[in-house]
Amino acid sequence: MAIGSAGSSTHVTTAPGGGQSYRSAFAMVTTLFFIWGFITSLNDILIPHLKAIFDLNYAEVLLIQFVFFVAYAVFGYPSGRIVEHIGYKRMMVVGLLIMAVGAILFIPAADMPSFPLFLLALIFLGAGMASLQVAANPYVTVLGPSETASSRLNLSQAFNSLGTTIGPPLGGFLILKGAEKLVENVHTLPPAALHAYRVQQAATVKFPYVVITVVLILLALVIGFYNFPRIEGATKESGVQPEQQASIWRYRHVMLGAVAIFVYVGAEVAIGSFLINYFELKDIAGLNARDAAYYLPFYWGGAMIGRFIGSAILQKVKTEKLLTTNAIIALVLVVISMLSFGHVALWSILAIGLFNSIMFPSIFTLGVAEMGPLTGEASGLLVTAIVGGAIIPEIQGVLADHIGLHHAFFIPVLCYIFIAYYGWKGARVIHPAPRLSAR
């Protein structure tokens, strides 16, 4: 059977009993959303942990997010071109295996221990995740009618948020369990004692990332042997004539969508990355790192709940309208946190997660709308824009070192202003991609 898709020239072909095949494929891909959400959220635990171990300032430790998301910039767009040739399924397998390489590199990084090697491991994780997202996000949008593509992607992203909700408390327990033994001024220790201290503290990352490596390899095998419905007309492997191809660069909603993804991921990661350190401030909560980590699920859990709710709301409300509304509420909450202290500052910053919820899947769906066979390439550009998660938190980190963390949150405010504009006007499709004939 053929199922209508996000692009008028794209459809999904399934075997007899295709409805079940469609639902099974959706469930299988949604599993990937969970795993990359879980892994990404562990960066928020690594930041305070490695900051203390290697005696880093904010700008230095934010290299964790910088290299992780720069990998999206380096591999995102090329992955979008590759997926057109090898297909969504093979790209998912490739992404999972690259991520497995990154996860296993945490073992030698902890043994040495070496902050640069940790960064190299994160580059592999980011590269694999970019490949995975280039395939999984657009695949979900074309697995059904275009009218419900945003709702469908929000539902998948809700399980991504489930991963980001479970990740921090579990990672906080496994990785930060020795936080009470941290030495405040590690640079004062003799070289031998310093090395022994770092080996002991860094060792807590080993078990979680060994388990992650095994899970990623098993998922790659399952995906590799699973019989996914074939998407016709969405990739070059579908038989699109090369001379008929257009360029994504002429589509305004795609270009502005890339900017919106850039600032959204930047704002989300900047807020999430600093939450533990933010809650450690005496005028906010005065918590230690491990206790502060238990508040992170309220931020990421809010995104999960919001995506489940948003998936239902988007059946009735236009994606553009809901996106604009959420962006305005989010920027107001950031301003409230900046202008307040104690519980008001704490809970207002955590509440942003609820309104962040529908932003990424909504922007992504709007960005690839009506792109037909150019969906893969447009997806690659949007995934590349996730590099905002590297650049914007780093900017906020530099500002935090100079003006204080509390006031450095004005950077996400600027991000939400642009997202509100994209939902209001920037996402309008001026003209759809041409229908390309398949051989």
Q: Is residue 33 part of a domain?
A: yes
Strand order in the sheet with 11-13: 2-4, 11-13, 230-232
Domain of residue 364, residue span: 17-230+247-426
- Residue 124's Cβ-count burial label (10 Å; 0-12, 13-18, 19+) is buried
Which residue did the predictor score with more confidence, 81 or 403? Answer: 403
The CA distance from 198 to 182, in Å, is 10
- Work out how many domains the chain is built from and give that number: 1
Q: Is residue 137 part of a domain?
A: yes
Amino acid present at 375: T
Looking at the chain, the whole-number percentage of residues with pLDDT higher than 90 is 29
Residue 316: partners with Cβ closer than 8 Å, 6 or more residues away: none
The highest-confidence range among 96-100, 111-115, 174-178, by mean pLDDT, is 96-100
The single-letter DSSP state of residue 438 is B
The single-letter DSSP state of residue 431 is S
Q: Is residue 4 part of a domain?
A: no
Helices (H), 105-148: 106-111, 115-142
The CA distance from 434 to 9, in Å, is 8
How high is the pLDDT of residue 143?
A: 75
Closest among 35, 224, 26, 192 to 128, alpha carbons compared: 35
Q: Is residue 67 part of a domain?
A: yes
Q: Is residue 204 part of a domain?
A: yes
Say whether pLDDT at 17 is over 50: no
Any idea what the CATH number is for the domain that residue 372 is in?
1.20.1250.20
Helix (H/G/I), strand (E/B), else coil: 395: helix
The CA distance from 135 to 292, in Å, is 35
Q: Is residue 293 part of a domain?
A: yes
The CA distance from 81 to 96, in Å, is 18
The single-letter DSSP state of residue 316 is T
Per-residue model confidence as pLDDT tens digits over 342-390: 889 999 999 999 999 889 889 988 988 777 777 778 888 888 898 888 8
Per-residue model confidence as pLDDT tens digits over 164-205: 788 888 888 888 775 555 556 666 778 788 788 888 888 889
Residue 246, phi-psi category: left (phi > 0), alpha (psi -120 to 50), beta (remainder): beta
Handedness of CA 315, 318, 321, 323 (dihedral sign): positive
Asked if 152 and 358 touch (Cβ cutoff 8 Å), the reply is no
Which residue did the predictor score with more confidence, 150 or 416? Answer: 416
Q: Is residue 7 part of a domain?
A: no
Interstrand relation of 2-4 and 11-13 (parallel, antiparallel or unpaired): antiparallel
Say whether pLDDT at 146 is over 80: no
Q: Is residue 439 part of a domain?
A: no
